[in-house]
Amino acid sequence: MSSSDSVSLSTSSSDSMESGRSKGRQVDEESTSSGGMVSGIPMETVREVREDPLEELAESDWQAKGGYGWVAADVRNQSSLFQWSRLLNSWLNCMPVIAKGVSGDIVSLERVNAIDRVRHGQEGATEKFFYMYMCHFSQLHMRLPLDDFTMGVLRALNVAPTQLHPNSSAYLQAFRILCQSLYLEPSPYAFLYFYDTRPRQPTTWLSLISRPSISRLDAFSQSFKHFKDEYFKVVVKEEGKPYFLNADGSTKFSFS
C-alpha cells in the first residue's frame, strides 16, 4: 500500500481528517518522496495527484432530503467523511469489520452520498441497510454480524447502532466480555436493568445512564468526540439475510 492510501487508525486520526475537510469536496492526495541529496546523488521528487470520481463530486449540488426537521440540528446536518469511496476503502483495507469465520459476502460496505445523514430512513432503497460508525470497529472492536446480545439491546431500546452513543455501546461490550469471562450468557434485559436512558424521546444520540446505587460498570474512560462524521452504509446481501433478518423479512434490530 502506498503512503497516499494509508490511514492512521489511532484516536488522533481525527486531526488528519480535519485538515482534509479544509481542502473542500475534492480530496487531492499527494504522495511525495523525499528530495535532496542521497550519498551525494541528487534525487528527483515524485508527486502523485489523485482526484475523486466526478460522480461523487457532482453530489455536492444535490438538494437535501426533507422531512427530518424533528432531528437535532447537529445530527441532521452532519455529513460523513465517507462520502469519498477512496477514503472509505483505505480505512476498510486496514480495519477488520467481519467476524472471523464469517464470509465477507454477507454485507456490502458502502460509502454514503453527499446528502445522506445518519438518521435517514430506508426510503427509496432497494436493499436493506443500516449505518455504522468507524469507531464501532476501530475502538469498540465490534464485528459483523452483530451478536445476539447486541442486537437484543438495540431491539429493546428500538434504536439503530448509530443512534446509541458510542460511550453507551462501550457499556455493551464491557458487559458482554464480563459475562463471557464468568461463563454466563449475556442477557439484554439483565444488562438494561442497570441503566436508564437519556433523552427519553431521542432526537439525538441515546445515552445509557447508570442507575444510582446499582452501577456495576464504570463509565468509559474517554468520552467519544470525533465519531460523528465517520459513518458508512452496511448493505445486507442475500447471503447475510439470516444474520440480520427474521424469517418473515423483518429486521432483527432497528435499521433506522
3-state secondary structure (DSSP) of residue 47: strand
Considering the domain boundaries, does residue 59 fall inside one? no
pLDDT score of 219 more than 70: no
Span 37-58, average pLDDT: 52
pLDDT score of 98 more than 80: yes
Considering the domain boundaries, does residue 179 fall inside one? yes
Considering the domain boundaries, does residue 46 fall inside one? no
Average confidence score pLDDT of the chain: 79
CB 140 within 8 A of CB 173: yes
Domain housing 151: 67-244
pLDDT score of 35 more than 90: no
Instruction: Look at residue 221 in the predicted model and tell me its pLDDT.
Output: 55
Measure the CA–CA gap between 83 and 235, rounded to whole angstroms.
Answer: 15
pLDDT score of 113 more than 80: yes
Its pTM stands at: 0.73
Measure the CA–CA gap between 103 and 185, rounded to whole angstroms.
Answer: 25
Instruction: Look at residue 21 in the predicted model and tell me its pLDDT.
Output: 47
The sign one gets for the Cα dihedral 82, 97, 193, 224 is negative
Considering the domain boundaries, does residue 223 fall inside one? yes
Categorize the per-residue pLDDT at 24 as very low, low, confident or very high, splitting at 50, 70 and 90.
Answer: very low
Instruction: Look at residue 2 in the predicted model and tell me its pLDDT.
Output: 43
> Vertex 134, ends 219 and 1: CA angle to 5°?
135
Which one is predicted more confidently, 122 or 169? 169
CB 110 within 8 A of CB 235: yes
Considering the domain boundaries, does residue 28 fall inside one? no
**How many domains does the chain contain in total?**
1
Lowest mean pLDDT among 69-78, 92-101, 104-113: 69-78
Bond before 199 cis per omega within 30 degrees: yes
Categorize the per-residue pLDDT at 90 as very low, low, confident or very high, splitting at 50, 70 and 90.
Answer: very high
Measure the CA–CA gap between 51 and 29, rounded to whole angstroms.
Answer: 8
Measure the CA–CA gap between 13 and 247, rounded to whole angstroms.
Answer: 41
Instruction: Look at residue 115 in the predicted model and tell me its pLDDT.
Output: 78
Considering the domain boundaries, does residue 26 fall inside one? no
Cα distances (angstroms) measured from residue 130 to each of 17, 146, 222: 23, 12, 26
35: closest CA among 25, 26, 24, 47?
A: 47
Span 109-115, average pLDDT: 89
What is the C-alpha radius of gyration for the chain, rounded to an integer number of angstroms? 21
Instruction: Look at residue 226 in the predicted model and tell me its pLDDT.
Output: 83
Centre a 10 Å sphere on the Cβ of residue 145 and count the other Cβ atoms it contains.
19
Considering the domain boundaries, does residue 15 fall inside one? no
Considering the domain boundaries, does residue 139 fall inside one? yes
pLDDT score of 132 more than 50: yes
21: number of CA atoms within 13 Å, CB side?
13
Q: What is the pLDDT of residues 162-212, one digit of tens each?
A: 999 999 999 999 999 999 999 999 999 999 999 888 886 667 889 998 887
> Vertex 153, ends 158 and 93: CA angle to 5°?
95
3-state secondary structure (DSSP) of residue 175: helix
137: closest CA among 1, 241, 13?
A: 13
Categorize the per-residue pLDDT at 79 as very low, low, confident or very high, splitting at 50, 70 and 90.
Answer: confident
Which one is predicted more confidently, 24 or 88? 88
Instruction: Look at residue 44 in the predicted model and tell me its pLDDT.
Output: 44
